[in-house]
């Protein structure tokens, strides 16, 4: 295992090097992989060819890293053994349903110093790549949070794997803006419990709607402009839609490292003791005051 803080940990650096190195290859492959693969993932969702391609590239690169002991993916029922070391949890292509509409998506990464399933407190680093007009990567560890621009190395031949891209830090101390500006709430309004609907109505009267259907894209709005993102508990699905290991924990880690807050409606996402690898969780992240109001609103229910 590394020094269990993630800060300047060579294994953590190698993980994010690998994800950055693969990003241009994933992005270049998307135009030809907008079709359904004909399979479902362990969460029962339709898997696109893009999801499978990203999963395979990331599995090959990450399991080859000395110090990575397990590769765990939203697209795979079980962990893939890679020897001794950190467990790396991946959502290979979060928001892949945006492929057809040509909107944002990305890869979510969680580096746990424990076998999975594990609570988010066992994370030593987390982050995400975002395929927008440019490719960016947000990296959070014990030293803080930074934003990087990822570009294909002009001399890369495409076979270079993790060496195939350059990482340029554009903000070495990413913190949540003090003044919230935007919100994004997932699910359908008729499916929201009354207490969340009431909270949403208040927030809608204060902030601007930014919801694009991919968690990484919508969370990055909050990271950039301040505010709140939620995929809430639903009347018929109290656990909501997002997966704890691959989406909730990594994003909660990033936002809390930036000075924000996360919640499942009653407390930090990172404190949840999971039962299974693919557990779902209601996810609320953003400025602390907005999360405090959310918890008070749901507590009144
Ligand atoms: P809905 C994408 O499929 C995803 O897992 C997240 O990236 C996103 O936040 C959510 O689902 C969108 O769900 O119900 O708004 O389509």
Sequential DSSP letters for 29-55 = HGGG--SEEEEE-TTSPEEEHHHHHHH
Q: Ligand 1: which of 221, 231, 240, 284 to mutate, judged by most atoms within 8 Å of the beta carbon?
A: 231
Q: Please list the residues that pair with 110 across neighbouring strands.
A: 89, 126
Q: Which atom of ligand 1 is nearest to the CA of 97?
A: 3
pLDDT of 162 reads 55
Please give the model's pTM, rounded to 2 decimal places: 0.94
pLDDT at 156: 67
R_g over Cα of the chain: 18
Q: Which atom of ligand 1 is nearest to the CA of 45?
A: 3
Nearest alpha-carbon partner for 54 in 78, 19, 79: 19
Residues 6+ apart with CB under 8 A from 296: none
What integer pLDDT is reported at residue 31 of this predicted model?
85
Check: CB of residue 139 under 8 Å from CB of residue 117: no
79 CA → ligand 1 middle, Å:
23
Task: Report the nearest-CA residue for atom 13 of ligand 1.
Answer: 213
- Residue by residue, pLDDT tens for the chain (301 residues) are 334 445 689 999 999 999 999 999 999 888 877 777 778 888 888 777 778 899 999 999 999 999 999 999 999 999 999 999 999 999 999 998 898 999 999 999 999 999 999 999 999 999 999 999 999 999 999 999 999 999 988 776 656 555 678 999 999 999 999 999 999 999 999 999 999 999 999 999 999 999 999 999 999 999 999 999 999 999 999 999 999 999 999 999 999 999 999 999 999 999 999 999 999 999 999 999 999 999 999 997 7
**Helical axes 215-225 vs 249-257, angle rounded to 10°:** 10
Ligand 1 pocket residue status of 184, Cβ below 6 Å? no
End-to-end CA distance of the chain: 43
CA distances from 49 to 40, 58, 170 (A): 11, 14, 32
Cα dist from 189 to 92, 118, 203, 217, 240, whole Å: 28, 32, 14, 21, 13
What domains are there in the chain, each with its CATH number?
A: 2-171 (3.30.540.10), 182-299 (3.40.190.80)
Whether 218 and 231 have beta carbons less than 8 Å apart is answered as: no
41 lines ligand 1 (CB under 6 A): no
CB-based contact 62:90 (threshold 8 Å): yes
> From ligand 1's centre to the CA of 242, what distance in Å?
8
CA of 215 to the centre of ligand 1 (A): 6
Q: Using a 6 Å cutoff on CB, does residue 272 contact ligand 1? A: no
Output the six-digit token pair for 157. Answer: 């031949």
């Amino acid at each position: 295992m590394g020094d269990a803080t993630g800060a300047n940990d060579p294994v953590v650096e190698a993980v994010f090097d690998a994800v950055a190195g693969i990003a241009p290859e994933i992005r270049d492959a998307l135009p030809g992989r907008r079709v359904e693969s004909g399979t479902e993932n362990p969460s029962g969702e339709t898997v696109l060819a893009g999801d499978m391609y990203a999963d395979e590239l990331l599995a090959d690169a990450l399991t080859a890293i000395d110090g990575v002991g397990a590769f765990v993916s939203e697209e795979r029922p079980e962990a893939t053994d890679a020897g001794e070391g950190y467990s790396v949890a991946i959502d290979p292509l979060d928001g892949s349903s945006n492929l057809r509409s040509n909107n944002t998506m990305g890869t979510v990464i969680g580096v746990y110093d424990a076998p999975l399933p594990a609570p988010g407190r066992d994370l030593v680093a987390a982050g995400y790549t975002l395929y927008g007009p440019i490719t960016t990567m947000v990296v959070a560890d014990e030293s803080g949070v930074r934003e990087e621009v990822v570009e294909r190395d002009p001399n890369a031949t495409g076979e270079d794997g993790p060496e195939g891209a350059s990482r340029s830090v554009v903000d070495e101390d990413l913190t949540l803006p003090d003044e919230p500006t935007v919100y994004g709430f997932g699910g359908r309004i008729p499916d929201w419990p009354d207490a969340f609907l009431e909270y949403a109505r208040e927030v809608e009267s204060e902030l601007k709607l930014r919801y694009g259907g991919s968690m990484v894209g919508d969370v990055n709005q909050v990271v950039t402009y301040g505010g709140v993102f939620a995929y809430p508990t639903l009347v018929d699905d109290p656990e909501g839609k997002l997966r704890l290991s691959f989406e909730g924990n990594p994003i909660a880690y990033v936002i809390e490292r930036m000075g924000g807050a996360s919640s499942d409606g009653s407390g930090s996402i990172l404190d949840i003791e999971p039962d299974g690898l693919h557990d779902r969780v209601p996810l609320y992240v953003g400025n602390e005051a907005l999360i405090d109001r959310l918890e008070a609103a749901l507590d009144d229910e």
